[in-house]
């Protein structure tokens, strides 16, 4: 692993730590002003930091306390000032309705480096859908 | 736009043309043996060309005739031998059940270049989900 790899991996880890802590300012510091974000929830895309921030706050507000976010099967590609990564997240916690939930999501992150600092310019989070029922699909216990 | 930009854009265009023509061999020629694919449909991930090919054939078999695939809001980042792109696709056609369908999907593609040739090492396609109903969400007419 090169030092560049280490840098982007630390950056991605910092993204997850900020989300787990529901620290919106620290989390938003990872995103480019031009961020284009495809989330689990509608609409098709969120564009710019105002829309993305509002959507993160909505997500945080759904949890009573911190969010547990495990990262699995991380893979990172980096060359020069562009990188992308994909991973699975197991997103768990106590919802504000009192229920404990645990959901596997797929996560893809695209980054560019400017003046030595990485920023996320694109992110894509989703669940699979059963196209017969048009309902979200959840894996059996893994 | 640099010549490298042009190369990756032509490669991405070729991916779409192969899918529209339902030319499975040409389409698969765009994918790395180590492809990790997150699709609209389950499971969470498809890994390797055998799983990805099988899933493309399933997709093709759902259409009676060619697939119309419009690309909107394409953005490409490239540096050295790594690139990623995101776009919306309007995926339309006549299904084998006789219905004409038209679905907006979000598409993210991660590529690496080896020996001068680009290959897709990661792809992520999804629809948003209404988390109240856990059903797929479709945008109003756009």
Tell me the per-residue pLDDT of B17-59, one tens digit each, with 9 for 90 and over. 999 999 999 999 999 999 999 999 999 999 999 999 999 999 9
How confident is the model at residue A114, as a pLDDT?
Answer: 93
Burial class from Cβ neighbours inside 10 Å (0-12, 13-18, 19+) for residue A142 reads exposed
**Average pLDDT estimate for A96-114:** 96
pLDDT at A6: 73
B126 touches chain A (CB under 8 A): yes
Instruction: Spell out which residues of chain B touch residue A124, defining contact as CB-CB under 8 Å.
Output: 86, 106, 108, 124, 126
Partner A, chain B 4-43, Cβ-Cβ below 8 Å: 36, 38-43
Query: pLDDT by residue (tens digit) across B56-93?
Result: 999 999 999 999 999 999 999 999 999 999 999 999 99
Q: What is the pLDDT of residues A18-74, one digit of tens each?
A: 999 999 999 999 999 999 999 999 999 999 999 999 999 999 999 999 999 999 999
- Which of B82, B104, B129 is the closest to A84 by Cβ? B82
Residues 6+ away with beta carbon under 8 Å from B33: B48, B49
Q: Which residue in B43, B80, B126 is closest to A79 by CB distance? A: B80
Domain ranges across chain B: 3-136
CATH number at A3-136 = 3.10.450.50
Residue B17: the pLDDT is 98
Task: Tell me how close the Cα of B15 comes to any Cα of chain A, in angstroms.
Answer: 19
Spatial distance between the Cα atoms of B44 and A17, rounded to a whole number of angstroms: 23
Size of interface A-B (CB pairs under 8 A): 139
A82 touches chain B (CB under 8 A): yes
B124 → closest Cβ in A82, A86, A104? A86
């Amino acid at each position: 692993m090169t030092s560049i790899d280490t840098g982007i991996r630390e950056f991605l880890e910092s993204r997850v730590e900020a989300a787990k802590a529901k620290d919106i300012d620290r989390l938003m510091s990872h995103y480019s002003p031009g961020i284009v974000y495809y989330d689990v929830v509608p609409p098709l895309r969120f564009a710019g930091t105002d829309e993305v921030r509002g959507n993160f706050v909505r997500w945080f507000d759904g949890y009573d306390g911190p969010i547990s976010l495990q990262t699995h099967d991380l893979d990172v590609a980096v060359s020069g000032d562009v990188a992308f990564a994909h991973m699975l997240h197991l997103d768990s916690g106590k919802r504000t309705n009192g229920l404990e939930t645990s959901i596997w999501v797929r996560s893809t992150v695209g980054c560019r480096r400017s003046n030595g600092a990485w920023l996320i310019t694109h992110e894509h989070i989703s669940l699979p859908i059963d196209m017969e029922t048009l309902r979200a699909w959840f894996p059996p216990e893994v």
